[in-house]
Structures are given as structure tokens and as C-alpha cells.
Amino acid sequence: MIEATSCGGVVIFRGKILVLYKNYKNKYEGWVLPKGTVEPGEDYKETALREVKEETGVSASIIKYIGKSQYSFNTPQDMVEKDVHWYLMMADSYYSKPQREEYFIDSGYYKFYEAYHLLKFSNEKQILEKAYNEYLDLKKSNLWGNKKYF
């Protein structure tokens, strides 16, 4: 068994959530949140920001840590147990550009309920829900977008 760690972000701009559409040789298709593997010497925040930037072209700011999701999958060689650490992030525009080299063919910002129903994986839906509730709480307290908060 292989253990792997990734980090990613729930990126929000003006109440809308950034999601990516991946199509890998028609075997893997679906909407996902941006995330990727931790590189040697990187901390989790650095990984999350780098992966969001690489996969979507978005320079986001981390607002807070949201939590961890876990899942496993099989490769021809072995079974992989993956931990993903998630951060609530804020973008400064609606700009995004999907990373073609990683088979992302579309990206965009969607309202919560649209993004929720687009997402392919239930663990990402749970993280989205948690992140969006945090976002609403911060917004209610006038802390969303307040640089002093993060």
C-alpha cells in the first residue's frame, strides 16, 4: 500500500466557487476541486496555493484550513491511500485557465448549489459544504476579505 498526501483549495470569488473539469482519455471525467501532491520541502499551505495556481491559473489567498478528506484507489501496481488537506481560499477575480497538461479542459466559478451538483466525488462535496459554511460565517461577521483576519 502506498500512502500519498495532497493539498487543495475551495476557491471563492464573490460568493462563487472555482471548479475544474477533467477528461483523461475518456476514462476519468468529471468536475473536481483543484488539488495536488505535496512536493519535498513544501508545507501544506504552499502545496495548496501552488496547485491552485498550476491547475487554474488563479493566485488565491488562504483564508483558513478546512479539514482533511481521505480516499483510496487502485493502480496497476498497488493500492493508494490518499489524504487531502483542504483550505478555504479567496481569489481576486473571475479569471481562470485550466491546465491542459493535466487534462483539465474547463474551469469556472459557479454558485454553491451548482458547484455542489457538478462535483463528481462525495468527499469533495462534503469539503465544499464545510468551506462554504465557513465563508458564509465570515461574510456575516464582515471578516471575509478582511486582510487582518488572515
* Residue 65 placed within a domain: yes
**Does residue 146 register a pLDDT over 80?**
no
* Residue 146 placed within a domain: no
Q: Are 147 and 62 a contacting pair, CB within 8 Å?
A: no
Supply the pLDDT for residue 88: 97
Residue type, 11: V
**Does residue 147 register a pLDDT over 70?**
no
* Residue 73 placed within a domain: yes
* Residue 39 placed within a domain: yes
* Residue 150 placed within a domain: no
Residues in the chain: 150
Quick: pLDDT tens for 9-58: 999 999 999 999 999 877 778 999 999 999 999 999 999 999 999 999 99
Supply the pLDDT for residue 148: 52
Residue type, 78: D
Q: Are 86 and 69 a contacting pair, CB within 8 Å?
A: yes
Total domains in the fold of the chain: 1
| CA 69 – CA 75 distance, rounded (Å) | 19
Supply the pLDDT for residue 33: 97
35-37 and 2-13 beta bridge pairing: antiparallel
Supply the pLDDT for residue 40: 94
Domain that holds residue 33: 1-139
Q: What are the start-end ranges of the E strands in the chain?
A: 2-13, 16-24, 28-32, 35-37, 61-74, 79-90, 104-110
* Residue 148 placed within a domain: no
Q: How confident is the model at residue 143 (pLDDT cuts 50, 70, 90)?
A: confident
* Residue 55 placed within a domain: yes
**C-alpha cell at position 77:** 501496481
Q: In the chain, what is the greatest distance between 2 CA atoms, to the nearest angstrom?
A: 50
* Residue 144 placed within a domain: no
pTM (predicted TM-score): 0.92
Quick one: how far is CA 66 from the chain centroid?
11
Task: Indicate which CATH number applies to the domain containing 81.
Answer: 3.90.79.10
